[in-house]
Amino acid sequence: MESTGKPLKSALDLALERVAQRDGTIARLTDTQKAALAEIDSKTRAKLAELEILGNDRLAKAVSDPEQVEKIKAEQRTALERTRSRAEDEKERVRKG
């Protein structure tokens, strides 16, 4: 393999280039924005894990009541989706500057 002297591109940079090829526009992110996006992802993963653990604990306690189990599952799905949505909103604010 031959070295071109160019630095390797991150997965994010490659993805942005693919979007640019498709849409004709590319959003360049600063290092600060990239760090902020990574922090949002990290916090979101931690929050999702926390919600899953707490939800599974509640499910284990309610295993004998099928109605309660379904209610807990619905609440858990809602909480997970709300967390993901908030993270995407935060990321969009970061991307826009």
- Give 50-77 pLDDT, tens digit per residue: 999 999 999 999 999 999 999 999 999 9
Query: What was the pLDDT predicted at 1?
Result: 47
Encoding tokens for residue 63?
């295993």
**By the 8 A CB rule, do 40 and 87 touch?**
yes
pTM above 0.75, yes or no: no
- Which residue ranges make up each domain of the chain? 32-96
48 touches 84 (CB < 8 A): yes
For 79, residues 6+ apart whose C-beta sits below 8 A from its C-beta are 51, 55
Residue 72 CB: number of other CB atoms within 10 A? 20
What tokens were used for 41? 């992802």
